[in-house]
Amino acid sequence: MADSAAPREDAQAASGPLECFTFYSQSLDHLPKEIMATLGGDAQHVATTGENRGPVFSYLWDDGLSLTCNVMVQEELAQHLLGFIGYVTQVYPKGPDARGKQIIGRIGQTKLAVGIVVQPGRDPEGRVEDLLSRMMGGLTPILFYGDSLHDHLGRLLLAPDGSFDPEAEIQPKLDGVEFQATEDEALPCDSPSSEPQDEDVLTPPTAARVAQRALVLASLACRASLEEEPEHPTAVRTYQDLTEWIPAMGIKGEFEPAEWEVISSPLGQLPERDRIDMSWRSEGLAMLAWALRRIEFPLYDQQVDGPAVGDALGFLNDDARKLLDAPELRSAEELDWLVELTLAVHWRLREYSLRPNAMNFAGFALKCQWAAMPVSDLTLVENDLALRGNPVSRAPERVFGECLSIARERQQAANWLIGTEPVYTEVTCDT
């Protein structure tokens, strides 16, 4: 892979054989100096600054064994990750499958890249193994070794031929707090052989199920709104209508158990967290309503009018039967565009939440190898994504937070529409 986080000039200057690793951490954005100073045991530890202005942690043992950690500076990280993602993308001749997209999504969330050079390779006493295992336990990283990706336990995530260990974790729990190895951790010595796995086959929901799910989301958003004035006669009457209308439409089976608990919760007793979460379901509802050809596509940086979208579907009246009896979905090409657009918006907002800097989003999208980003269908200001007339970097905090919530809900709906998960709430929004 081009552009390793371990500086090429350092490796060439050293004499004798060496072994190289790169850790990509999504949990920490720096290596804690006080912890790094303790990892080498009886090794001489030196902390310096490299030629790229990034921290360098070196360990030298009396017998000549050495290990050097080179931290990539943040200014270089985004471009490096773009190259890394391009490397992963090349593994999939027909484009990344669902699993590949998950790996790419996690790479895109990287906060810290550390290139590691061991000379002259690992020792029989296991000093290098112990130090690196402790780092893996603290960073929970993706490990790039040789030409393959491994998880934080050393299991094969992805080899150049597409093979992988089914037990490898793409999205482990990112603790990132203790630099302590576990008994299960083992650094790879070479790429384990594994049979190539069949690409995940997506099974999109039928038009009938999309119609039912749309009415479920409308019901959840409606139920949340009733908590604003639960004792008002209109709220009481609407609640009664809702609980009678759902079974009459025959859509109760589309509700997940937790969703049905929201509907059946007595007025005034819905937990505040549920009320907030369900109120945002209007954004996913809008994506399904658009997919069903019931509304025009809404602006990406504005909340939709939930009741108006519900009306377009016949929510809470008999017109919904027409939708359920003869639903019509947009083409696969249009739904793919929806996935690309919602990913582009959500990615840029997530990227800004992690690294709050202006960027040339138009240029990034043009060169992006891991996903199509139709920025021509978005509003750009100063070559960056615009939020209500301002580039992301100058948008008010309230507007940014609101748009981030909109983006997540809409991407979840878009991903569900192409069949990434059959259960709506289990759909991930990897960016």
Contacts of 423 (CB under 8 A, 6+ apart): 256
Q: How far is CA 205 from the centre of its chain?
A: 22
Q: How far is CA 74 from the centre of its chain?
A: 20
CA end-to-end distance (rounded Å), the chain: 22
Residue 159 has pLDDT above 90, yes or no: yes
Q: In this predicted structure, which of 11-20, 110-119, 220-229 has the lowest mean pLDDT?
A: 11-20
Measured in degrees and rounded to the nearest 5, phi and psi for residue 45 equal -110, 130
Helix (H) or strand (E) run with residue 115 in it: strand 112-119
Average pLDDT in the chain: 87
Contacts of 191 (CB under 8 A, 6+ apart): 146, 147, 148, 156, 159
What are the tokens at 3? 């552009």
Neighbours of 179 (CB within 10 A): 19
Q: In this predicted structure, which of 14-28, 100-114, 193-207, 370-384 has the lowest mean pLDDT?
A: 193-207
pLDDT value, residue 183 = 41
Q: How far is CA 197 from the centre of its chain?
A: 22
pLDDT value, residue 405 = 96
What are the tokens at 312? 């377009």
**Of the candidates 168, 171, 155, which has an alpha carbon nearest to the alpha carbon of residue 101?**
171
DSSP 164: -
Q: What are the beta bridge partners of residue 390? A: 387
Buried b (16+ CB within 10 A) or exposed e, 97-125: bbbbbbbbbbbbbbbbbbbbbbbeebeee
Q: What are the beta bridge partners of residue 144? A: 22, 149
What letter represents residue 15's amino acid? S
Helix (H) or strand (E) run with residue 69 in it: strand 66-71
Residue 19 has pLDDT above 80, yes or no: yes
CA distances to 61, 120, 288, 309 from 64, rounded to whole Å, are 6, 8, 63, 70
What letter represents residue 197's amino acid? Q
How far is the C-alpha of 109 from the C-alpha of 345, rounded, in Å? 15
If pLDDT is split at 50, 70 and 90, which confidence band does 191 have?
A: very low
Contact 303, 410 (CB under 8 A): no
Neighbours of 315 (CB within 10 A): 25
pLDDT digits 0-9 by tens, 337-394: 999 999 999 999 998 988 888 999 998 888 887 788 999 999 999 999 999 999 999 9
pLDDT value, residue 202 = 81
More confident residue, 191 or 303: 303
- pTM (global) more than 0.85: no
What are the tokens at 80? 């490096």
More confident residue, 127 or 388: 388
> In the chain, count of helices (H) and strands (E)?
15, 11
3-state secondary structure of 254: helix
If pLDDT is split at 50, 70 and 90, which confidence band does 431 have?
A: low
pLDDT value, residue 340 = 94
Averaged pLDDT, 105-127: 87
Averaged pLDDT, 77-92: 87
Contacts of 307 (CB under 8 A, 6+ apart): none
3-state secondary structure of 227: coil
Residue 323 has pLDDT above 80, yes or no: yes
Domain residues of the chain, as ranges? 8-158, 207-325, 332-426
If pLDDT is split at 50, 70 and 90, which confidence band does 173 have?
A: low
Q: What are the beta bridge partners of residue 145? A: 21, 148
How far is the C-alpha of 397 from the C-alpha of 393, rounded, in Å? 10
